[in-house]
Amino acid sequence: MAKGEETRQAILAKAFELSNVVGVSGLSIGRLAEATGLSKSGLFAHFGSKEALEIAVIGEASRQFVQEVMVPALRAARGEPRIRGLFENWHKWSQREGGCFFVGACSELDDRPGAPRDALMQSQKDWIDELEKAARIAVSEGHFRADVDCAQFAFAMFSIMLGLHAYARFMRDPKADARARDSFEKLLEFSRIRPA
């Protein structure tokens, strides 16, 4: 029982790494088998279908995202510091080879209904909820104004991240970082309690 689970996890780690570059549906079982040193059919048996593999890859991606982006941010102080932490951690995450897994996967799957899409959507909703929750905490900590619309804040922050991803990864704009940070600071400034 242990051995199977162990190789399955090794497969998923490699699968996530590969699909981060070629996409979740661009990942082929043959290529993944080659990369892991398994046979195509041996690997296939672990999942039963390509779709099940895709779902598992999305699950693995979410697991890693939580561990590398969300969890470390909880160590930052509640309120604005934590929001900055989320931004910085996501930034690091998006600088992996292939960029942010979810940005790519979302545009791959947005016209392909099914279980993989549903799993991916849940992950994205969790992420946006986390942003919104962090904003609410910033309000309750007295960092943000009480009338800040936290869901709207989450949208704005999410958008800036998408803009950064596009400028940096596709346009290869060296100013991408500065642009995103400028927008982010303005968003924070706009949300903060005004000094008297």
Among 8, 50, 98, 192, binds a copy of itself (CB under 8 A): 98
Q: String of b and e for 13-48 (b: at least 16 CB within 10 Å)?
A: ebbbbbbbeebbeebebeebbeebebeeeebbebbe
CB of residue 9 to a copy of itself, shortest distance in Å: 25
31 in contact with DNA (CB under 7 A): yes
Residue closer to a copy of itself, measured from CB, 72 or 98: 98
Residue closer to DNA, measured from CB, 56 or 156: 56
How far is residue 162 from each of residues 27, 70, 103, 151, 176, measured CA to CA in Å? Answer: 23, 18, 8, 17, 11
Residue 2: phi and psi, rounded to 5, are: -70, -45
145 in contact with a copy of itself (CB under 8 A): no
Residues from 82 through 121 that contact DNA (CB under 7 A): none
Concatenating the DSSP letter of every residue in 147-167 gives T--HHHHHHHHHHHHHHHHII
The binder of 51, among a copy of itself, DNA, none, by C-beta within 5 to 8 A per type, is DNA
CB of residue 118 to a copy of itself, shortest distance in Å: 11
Q: Which amino acid is at 29?
A: I
Residue indicated by tokens 């309750």: 140
Scanning 3-11, 103-111, 113-121, 161-169 for contacts with DNA by CB under 7 A, the matching segment is 3-11
CB of residue 22 to DNA, shortest distance in Å: 9
Residue closer to a copy of itself, measured from CB, 78 or 181: 181
Classify residue 69 by its DSSP letter.
I
Closest C-alpha to 93, from 24, 168, 31, 7: 168
- What does the binding site for DNA look like in residue numbers (CB under 7 A)? 1-5, 7, 27-31, 37-46, 48-51
